[in-house]
Chain A
Amino acid sequence: MRNRCLLMSILALASSAMFATSTFAAEAGTTGHEGVSLKPQMLVQFGGFGITNSMLVTWIVAAGIIILSQIATRRVQAIPSGIQNFWEWLVEGVHNFLENIIGRDLVAKGFWFFATIFIFILFVNWFGLIPGIGTVGWGHYDATGNFHVDRPLLRGGNADLNMTTAMSAIFFVMWFVWAIQANGVGGFLKHLFGPKGETSGIVKILMIVIFFAVGWLEVISILFRPIALSFRLFGNIYAGESILEAMSTMVPWLSPVLPIPFYFLEVLVGFVQALVFMLLTAVFTMLIAEHQEGPEHAH
């Protein structure tokens, strides 16, 4: 028992906030609270198919974005104002930002994807932070008479691994399509396995062997990209929900105040994760589709 306490203190000292929050969550769990569940819950089920609470949030946000953009572009004016101004600011801002990074040609080709990803993830993340989401739903009373929500009506859309995996899988297919379009099949394979740099003679042969082996490492790293993308977004948003839940149940008399700083942190994280998802997809596309003869070829 004493060893275990010592071990816990060593671990707690060695690690930072992540470990600290998980031990707090574990303590909260021993007092009868389960925290946020890893999986979304079914709301309606017919056969093997069902509607989960995170799907509902995804549809609400998607419908909201579609309706708002339709309203904004219904009467387009030369001097924008109101909602049209907002959407033009957002879309133009993303367009200029991406153009600086991945260049004019790729923006013309892939802007529809990158901007959709950014705007959608951003609004889903922020929608999931509205108070009431994850706390309104069906539940039960425990032995002490406290109410626990088992099946929330709404759940943050990106706190569902299915959603983030779907987005990164779509990106992976699009990445492949863009890579083949830009390089052709032979150029794509050459990009992966071909030797880079200026060499000649026996060194050239060695370089071909080395870069062929390096190509396989690159293939593994490419295959891990969709997994990393989906887990990054899911992990950040799910951890955010968990930390808000843990902070509001950890110290009962501080529960109205304690989550507030973390709430603003989550607003920031929601923006940063949307930006990171968009930037990573854009940069991965740029790396495979960039033109070899470009003047600023730095890799």
Chain B
Amino acid sequence: MILPILAELSGSIHVGLAAMGVGIGIGLTGLGMTSAVGRNPGAFTQVLVHGILAIALTEAIVFYALYLVH
């Protein structure tokens, strides 16, 4: 049942899947950042810097999928 459906799949599925995973990952990063700032509001700047870096590294995965996988 599932195999014919999979056989009909076409297009940039890998990019869609990567985008889905990256979305989950960035959401988790945001969860961690907000809860960290909620526990320790004084650490906002440090949390922001590391969070932004983590988001950038996570986001890069979708570009790897976009360019490196064909």
CB distance from B3 to the nearest CB of A (A): 11
Residues of A within 8 A of B38 (CB): none
| Assembly CA distance A4 to B4 (angstroms) | 10
Tally chain A residues at the interface, Cβ within 8 Å: 24
B52 closest partner in A (C-beta):
A279
A101 contacts B19, C-beta separation under 8 Å: no
Q: Which of A124-132, A142-150, A221-229 contacts B (4 or more CB under 8 A)?
A: A221-229
Q: Which are the 8 A-B pairs with shortest beta-carbon distances?
A: A100-B45, A279-B52, A228-B60, A7-B5, A228-B63, A224-B60, A3-B5, A280-B56
B19 contacts A221, C-beta separation under 8 Å: no
Q: Which of A221, A224, A280 touches B52 (beta carbons < 8 Å)?
A: A280
Residues of A within 8 A of B66 (CB): 231
Main secondary structure of the interface of B (DSSP, over half): helix
B20 contacts A101, C-beta separation under 8 Å: no
8 A Cβ contacts from B11-70 to A: 16, 19-20, 23, 45, 48-49, 52-53, 56-57, 59-60, 63-64, 66-67
Residues of A within 8 A of B60 (CB): 221, 224-225, 228
8 A Cβ contacts from A98-146 to B: 100-101
Q: Which of B9, B19, B48, B53 touches A7 (beta carbons < 8 Å)?
A: B9
CB distance from A299 to the nearest CB of B (A): 10
Contact with B along A1-38 (1 / 0, CB 8 A): 00110110010001110110000000000000000000
CB distance from A183 to the nearest CB of B (A): 19
A232 contacts B59, C-beta separation under 8 Å: yes
Residues of B within 8 A of A101 (CB): 45, 48-49
Question: Would you mind naming 13 contact pairs between A and B with Cβ atoms under 8 Å apart?
Answer: A3-B5, A3-B8, A6-B5, A7-B8, A7-B9, A10-B5, A18-B19, A18-B23, A100-B45, A101-B45, A101-B49, A228-B63, A232-B59
Residues of A within 8 A of B8 (CB): 3-4, 7
A283 interface residue, CB < 8 Å from B? Answer: yes
Residues of B within 8 A of A287 (CB): 53
Known contacts A221-B60, A232-B59, A276-B52; can you find 4 more A-B pairs with CB under 8 A? A224-B64, A279-B48, A280-B52, A283-B49
Residues of B within 8 A of A283 (CB): 49, 52-53
CB distance from B59 to the nearest CB of A (A): 6
Residues of A within 8 A of B59 (CB): 228, 232
Residues of B within 8 A of A231 (CB): 63, 66
B52 contacts A15, C-beta separation under 8 Å: no
A15 contacts B16, C-beta separation under 8 Å: yes
Residues of A within 8 A of B4 (CB): 3
Residues of B within 8 A of A225 (CB): 56, 60
B23 contacts A16, C-beta separation under 8 Å: yes
**A10, A14, A16, A228 pick with most chain B CB within 10 angstroms:** A228
